Structure 1
């Protein structure tokens, strides 16, 4: 690739290529992965692409530039509340004072989270937010979006782990494959759906916002001037309506009779004419939410006889990851299967480091992506499995989250965690969500 146009267009076309047989875009990171072979060094390519995008967006946009309110949505663990803009500005100023940001808010070379032993210098009152601040800053690093394949590493399996009796015991407890069954009453589903649809926000008609603006052409270029007129007009009522039952059947997989009953009893069907697509989309979302609530509430898991995850998969299923997302194992007592532990956040990196150095931990591992629990919402991959020795041996499975507040997490995420809990309860394994190392190590 030689020109800026080729660089941008090739990247854009490549990322849009993966679609399934229905023509829907595929976002699976194992499929939608673009490899670029460029006639320039990686550094030049990444820098050129970054400059191209910044020039294309315009308006002073710059990758890596962090605004003073960028941290406002971080959560204070002590109160489970957002820290807000004023606290964000104090954090931003502290990062400038310590040299992690320059005066414009651009990240400096001092911020190097990929280096071993790196830790943000923060005042005592900001210590609880260290991991969250680091993760937020990493989102602004451009090189994490266009990645040099040469920085990938294949994890080396430590075969001696198979001699670890604690690993064997834990694996025998958690390796069982399960299937789930659900029980729910159709009448209850109808009642829940009707209640939720009755309380949904009013469906608004399609509105057209029309501004008449003066344009000024001068030496500086084309600029917008005064707004001469502004008005809003509602679109006319639709005369040809789509098949709402066919749409809802496709989206919910419920019978037409059940859907008809929900729509009739909701008292909101009149709004279908106001904005058909908005009404169908919101109604389908609400019905699916009610359905998922009931499915998870009534879910039961049972072991499938003769079906297990075999220990040999640790060796056969190769794991490849970028160095920036790997923690190098320091312990020499064969307590974890690989020479590196992959992590998705700074919280997970800290947990891996603490598990690696804690003498009470006899075994731990970040569960590989092939280790999944089936759920009605798709496969669920738990985070950690470990063996802890106190007065007795504890065999634990843990899920890492940034907060315990379910309202601050995606609903699908919450439901998968609920299913994971039901699965491990059926196997008699202690499972819970943890936000820090103390909670990971507490029964």
Structure 2
């Protein structure tokens, strides 16, 4: 993620310079705005209280200097002279709340939003707007923690970079709106469509450097615009109120025509609607401060719901708290049935219902040698690259284009290698990270890394995170294979209670559940939605049809055996008719492929540990196998001695 932030800052500066060079001779100052998630990432303080750059400030100045040097060495123009006279440290600034010590802190935001009500945090930019738009003021890049609701309307913001994730309450449109203004020159003249010598649409173009994919950003912003375009009531008329469904004492009620007329008269009487039947400022202010006029006794019990309806005319955020979702799912129990009490299942349950502890003793040198060998032969990391997709909003778009997600056109796509990576500047505790993820000592990890080829170890610099993840995976897989050879299980005190089979599901989930006959609960919840391709679903159906199966259970994840690579929960417990098969009690794992080579090392190790426990150590009456169909289960049973 740090690399992505650096790329965003770099591309914002590049876009800024391109726009700035274009508009410099037109006397138009270009500004760029960064939205950040916390102030400390932009600016911090040393022990003496002096301001120092935070992470984003450091990255900005590094990237700014690199890009400026490219411009200055290639060009020799008045614009380049301007760049030479502006240092990176002077080119950026942040506008945040200022505490009593004069330190910048996160702006106070309205609860549930990222929108600041603390306008004092922005006094500097609000009071000196004209100076900010002059070329004598070096500040051109602005870092902000929150979007100021009032006053943040500087017309010359041409680039917006979102170094934060927009919350549900602060939509993309609100952030983008900080740059949707008609720009002005240094004299304050608006560069509108009647200004001579300019291309209005080309100059007044906002560039957004988003922290998400192009497709995601465009889809999101079009969706938000589309939401506002939907037709919605704008008048507090009798017709609007009549028949509206409201919730009263947890029950749905409809507003009658008599009540609707009374509401309308109430609004007229108190000057709460104008001649166009729209809520007035008097109403909005009274609602805000809690001084609304009382309603007649007939309406008083539903006054809160009425005011919510009125608010919904001018504020669509409030309606969701009043309307009941009739499709809201309810919880439904999937209780144990009589199959659970059958003697065959009770016998099977008593055989497998034990808790175990394991002991592993293997040679560390063998693990070290195996790990070094696989790392040297198989370790590769990907070169860090990033893709830039440039898209533009189409001209003269209409409602249909927005609703059909056709308001933007995708342009050039370029893929670049990340040359200056924050990864090279982040200090990794390499030994500690790998030791933590493999549960081995730092000494063992150090020995492994010391013995791998130099050509492999240098890959750490190219992509540290991928290097660590892949090395950990390889070591764990080697450890897993050794574990299976050397693990021993011992039964310990304790059993699993039958309450682990208690299951409650949302009513909507039952649509994809299987209504079983021989299962210990009425419904079986299996992996996969497609009934014809779900391995578990087909297996359950086949077991219901099979004469030799008496009862079976889909085992919950709370039933498990411990392994050195994590707890393991088998899928099924099956009891067969006595005499129909060689072993009447079975524990099974269902996987799409029976080829052990296609199983991940850790997954394979868990299955092998289960085989060792059930087939070799616990009891001769229970067998464990890895299967993918009921027929494969029968085949494996027939092959058993």
Normalised-by-shorter TM-score class: 0.5 to 0.7
1 or 2 for the larger relative contact order (CA 8 Å, sep ≥6)?
A: 1
Task: Name the residue aligned to 2:99.
Answer: none
Task: Name the residue aligned to 1:427.
Answer: 618
Task: Name the residue aligned to 2:448.
Answer: 262
Instruction: Answer yes or no: is the 8 Å Cα contact 2:218–2:408 preserved in 1.
Output: no
Task: Name the residue aligned to 1:251.
Answer: 437
Q: CA deviation at 1:323?
A: 0.8
Q: CA deviation at 1:186?
A: 0.7
| CA offsets 1:265-294 (integer angstroms, 9 cap, x no match) | 102334434444443333233222322232
Structure 1, unpaired ranges of 5+: 1-7, 13-51, 60-145
Task: Return the TM-score normalized by structure 2.
Answer: 0.41
2:587 paired with 1:397 = yes
Q: Quick one: distance in 2 between partners of 1:205 and 1:160?
A: 57
Q: Quick one: distance in 2 between partners of 1:9 and 1:214?
A: 24
2:346 paired with 1:156 = no
Specify which of 229, 234, 253 is matched with residue 419 of structure 2. 234
Q: CA deviation at 1:187?
A: 0.4
| CA offsets 1:57-90 (integer angstroms, 9 cap, x no match) | 879xxxxxxxxxxxxxxxxxxxxxxxxxxxxxxx
Task: Name the residue aligned to 2:573.
Answer: 385
Q: Quick one: distance in 2 between partners of 1:358 and 1:188?
A: 47
Task: Name the residue aligned to 2:523.
Answer: 340
Instruction: Answer yes or no: is the 8 Å Cα contact 1:208–1:233 preserved in 2.
Output: yes
Instruction: Answer yes or no: is the 8 Å Cα contact 1:207–1:235 preserved in 2.
Output: no
Q: Quick one: distance in 2 between partners of 1:53 and 1:357?
A: 51
2:368 paired with 1:190 = yes
Q: Quick one: distance in 1 between partners of 2:419 and 2:443?
A: 34
Summarize the Cα distance change of 1:215–1:348 in structure 2 as closer, same or farther, 3 Å threshold.
closer
| Structure with the greater alpha carbon radius of gyration | 2
Q: Quick one: distance in 1 between partners of 2:347 and 2:425?
A: 67
Q: Quick one: distance in 2 between partners of 1:327 and 1:385?
A: 17
Q: Quick one: distance in 2 between partners of 1:292 and 1:413?
A: 9
| CA offsets 1:297-335 (integer angstroms, 9 cap, x no match) | 32222222x43334xx15x752123312422234xxxx5
Structure 2, unpaired ranges of 5+: 1-166, 172-215, 224-324, 398-406, 529-533
Q: CA deviation at 1:258?
A: 1.7
Q: Where do 1:43-442 residues align within 5 Å? A: 55-56=219-220, 150=329, 152-159=331-338, 161-162=340-341, 164-203=342-381, 206-207=384-385, 218-219=395-396, 223-225=409-411, 232=417, 234-235=419-420, 238=424, 241-267=427-453, 268-304=456-492, 306-310=493-497, 313-314=498-499, 317-321=501-505, 322-330=509-517, 335-345=518-528, 346-389=534-577, 390=580, 394-425=584-615, 426-428=617-619, 429-442=622-635
The 10-residue stretch of structure 1 (346-355 or 379-388) with the greater mean CA deviation from structure 2 = 346-355
| CA offsets 1:5-63 (integer angstroms, 9 cap, x no match) | xxx938x9xxxxxxxxxxxxxxxxxxxxxxxxxxxxxxxxxxxxxxx99953879xxxx
Task: Name the residue aligned to 1:28.
Answer: none
Q: Quick one: distance in 2 between partners of 1:201 and 1:391?
A: 47
Q: CA deviation at 1:222?
A: 5.2
Q: Quick one: distance in 1 between partners of 2:461 and 2:521?
A: 59
Q: Quick one: distance in 2 between partners of 1:175 and 1:222?
A: 60
Q: Quick one: distance in 2 between partners of 1:57 and 1:418?
A: 50
Q: Quick one: distance in 1 between partners of 2:462 and 2:217?
A: 40
Instruction: Answer yes or no: is the 8 Å Cα contact 1:178–1:423 preserved in 2.
Output: no
Instruction: Answer yes or no: is the 8 Å Cα contact 2:514–2:525 preserved in 1.
Output: yes
Q: Quick one: distance in 2 between partners of 1:270 and 1:165?
A: 62
How many corresponding residue pairs? 299
Q: Quick one: distance in 1 between partners of 2:427 and 2:581?
A: 68
Summarize the Cα distance change of 1:393–1:234 in structure 2 as closer, same or farther, 3 Å threshold.
closer
SS of 1:150 mapped into structure 2: coil
SS of 2:557 mapped into structure 1: coil
Task: Name the residue aligned to 1:40.
Answer: none
Summarize the Cα distance change of 1:366–1:238 in structure 2 as closer, same or farther, 3 Å threshold.
closer
Summarize the Cα distance change of 1:207–1:441 in structure 2 as closer, same or farther, 3 Å threshold.
closer
Summarize the Cα distance change of 1:171–1:262 in structure 2 as closer, same or farther, 3 Å threshold.
same
Instruction: Answer yes or no: is the 8 Å Cα contact 2:383–2:417 preserved in 1.
Output: no
Q: Quick one: distance in 2 between partners of 1:263 and 1:238?
A: 19
